[in-house]
Amino acid sequence: MNTQLRFKPVVTAVTLFRVITTLAFAFGGTNVYAQSATLTSVRDIGMHTVPVDIPAKFTGKFPTGKTVSVQSDYTVSVFYAGGLGKPRFMAFSPSGVLHVSDMTNGKILALPDADNDGVADTVIEAATGFSGNHDVKFYKGAMYVTETTRIWKCTDTDGDGIYETKTIFIDGLGAGSTGGHVTRTLLFDPANEKAYVSIGSSCNVCREENRAIIEQYNDDGTGRRVFATGTRNAVGMALQPATGKLWANNNGSDQQGNETPPEWIDIVRDAGFYGHPLAYGSGVWFDFTAHADYTALLPITATDSAKVASMVAPAALIRAHSAPMALQFLDATFSPAMRYGFLTALRGSWNTTAPNNFRGFKVIYGHLADATDTTVDYVADFCTGFLTDTVARTYWGRPVGLATDANGKVYISSDEGNKFILVLTPRAGTGISTPKPVQLELGAVYPNPFRTSFTFSFTLARTSSVHVVVRDMHGKEVMRVLDQQLGAGVYQKNVDGVILSSGIYYLSLSTGDAAATEKIIIE
């Protein structure tokens, strides 16, 4: 089969441009301009539906007949259910015991699995007496628990797994403010002996001090300074293993529409500004007429304009109102194809209005090409099925926390719908499945070099989802050429490249199972 398809390139996914020209005079002549907010490409990396296995000890504590869609190398079962109030973030202790922060009950629960059968042997109250506790971390022999305005340092003096002593590690988070986003995420950086604390905003959008920031401390709790601003609610934070760079995700604001602003996942730069409450993406101003919350921000100042002008394109942008939670980088226990990427839990939307418009309620994977990559090539579903009706907003679980162990198992906590912890166990210890090769041949580009357009061909051995993009020399996607399900056969495409400036580019074709690249030159 030889199929001729001619078309002009389409910008990746949805490009959100908002030019605030109608408010130029209200800004008093400040620099009003538009940048882009292009959603990261979405791929299918191979999913199948499996039943959630319920161990006998959890019968009656978890609903029967539930299924999820996961990577094909995983089985899924209940690790723990019953007695959980609001299980949020999780962490493994140095001895390898999973701990979960139960926000409603004010407890840190230890869930040992001594025989490594994927079922919690018992539940132990490792520490109690907290209020609004969200995160739990282990560092230098102590356990740390976050509340809205403080962080506790807990010690286990006799090594029995019960943390008998509690002292205040950091007090007065957010200048003692308790409104709005009340969860606090803590991250330690052992290599640099630093700690980071994410403090969410007190509002939808507003001008505020000591909120919507990420703070940096010395790892003994001293030396507070503001590390990044404009992070409306960066719930998930993690260190990229090879580089030690701080990454975070963000819950964007409401009342700008069902698709605005997209949620970002990005490297957190020292002194970086990330948009709240003025802009999103790489500097797209909000529509200040959309809602009273935004109108109240006017007038825009020269300082505001300078902050927005400093914004750069995030490593990834995903659909608005997805509500990203825990962020977890993968490692060598996962397949070579995916071990440099990360997982993030999406707790899900609450304020979208159109039918079929609720989103989130799943765990996604973000792909990084190598250990030091700073741009997410694509995102893909990793564990879905918790949201069963997007119109009626029917769901049986709401993912929040993530953890991975030394055997490649993935743990997911749900704090609403049903309260539980699932474990995804790799079959035969294989971890995430390595993409299976398929026959894929990318024909030569011609003419090459070219000035306005070029043609290329490719061969598919079987029906596949085909993704073709053009990237610049830095690996940044600059043009979406094709994103389509195609049958087996030989295809020839003509591309209008007039929108690209002169230089060297790379034409990349992938199916999820295989990939090919050709260098192209524009004169």
pLDDT digit string, tens, across residues 347-364: 998 777 766 678 999 999
Read off the tokens for 305: 């304009």
Confidence of residue 4 (pLDDT cuts 50, 70, 90): very low
Read off the tokens for 332: 């060598």
Torsion angle, alpha carbons of 477, 229, 246, 411, to 10: -90
Mean pLDDT for 497-521 is: 77
Beta carbons of 421 and 82 less than 8 angstroms apart? no
Rg (CA), the chain: 24
Residue 168 vs residue 3, higher pLDDT? 168
Classify the C-alpha dihedral 358-35-279-198 as positive or negative. Answer: positive
Please give the model's pTM, rounded to 2 decimal places.
0.78
Q: Is the pLDDT of residue 11 over 60?
A: no
Q: Is the pLDDT of residue 410 over 70?
A: yes
Classify the C-alpha dihedral 368-400-213-186 as positive or negative. Answer: negative
Mean pLDDT for 154-175 is: 95
Confidence of residue 487 (pLDDT cuts 50, 70, 90): confident
Neighbour count for residue 365 (Cβ, 10 Å):
22
> Which helix H or strand E contains 305, and what residues bound it?
helix 302-309
Name the DSSP letter for residue 173. Answer: G
Residue 462 vs residue 312, higher pLDDT? 312
Mean pLDDT for 328-347 is: 93
Confidence of residue 55 (pLDDT cuts 50, 70, 90): very high
Mean pLDDT for 338-354 is: 88
Neighbour count for residue 55 (Cβ, 10 Å):
17
Q: Which of 107-116, 143-152, 161-170, 476-485 has the lowest mean pLDDT?
A: 476-485
Mean pLDDT for 366-372 is: 95
Beta carbons of 231 and 220 less than 8 angstroms apart? no
Residue 160 vs residue 355, higher pLDDT? 160
Confidence of residue 515 (pLDDT cuts 50, 70, 90): low
Instruction: Report which of 13, 235, 14 is spatially closest to residue 103, judged by C-alpha positions.
Output: 235
pLDDT, tens digit, for every residue of 446-470? 888 888 888 888 877 777 778 888 8
Mean pLDDT for 435-454 is: 67
Beta carbons of 81 and 95 less than 8 angstroms apart? no
Beta carbons of 187 and 204 less than 8 angstroms apart? no
Torsion angle, alpha carbons of 70, 72, 73, 78, to 10: 30
- Write out the DSSP string of 211-259: -SEEEEEETTS---EEEEE--TT---EEE-TTT--EEEE----SSS-TT
> Which helix H or strand E contains 265, and what residues bound it?
strand 263-267
